[in-house]
Amino acid sequence: MSGLRKRSLMVSGHRTSVALEPAFWCVIEAMAADRDLAVAALIAALDAGRDADQPLASALRVAALRWSARAGLIEERPHGPSGPGGEAG
Please compute, for residue 69, the number of CA atoms within 13 A of its CA located in the half-sphere on the CB side.
Answer: 10
* Rounded-to-10 torsion of CA 48, 51, 54, 56: -10
User: pLDDT band at 81, cuts 50/70/90?
Assistant: low
Nearest to residue 19, comparing CAs of 45, 43, 49?
43
For residue 89, is pLDDT > 50? no
Tens-digit pLDDT profile for residues 34-54: 999 999 999 999 999 999 999
How far apart, in whole angstroms, are the C-alpha atoms of residue 87 and residue 10?
A: 41
**Better-scored residue on pLDDT, 88 or 3:** 3
End-to-end CA distance of the chain: 30
pTM comes to 0.79
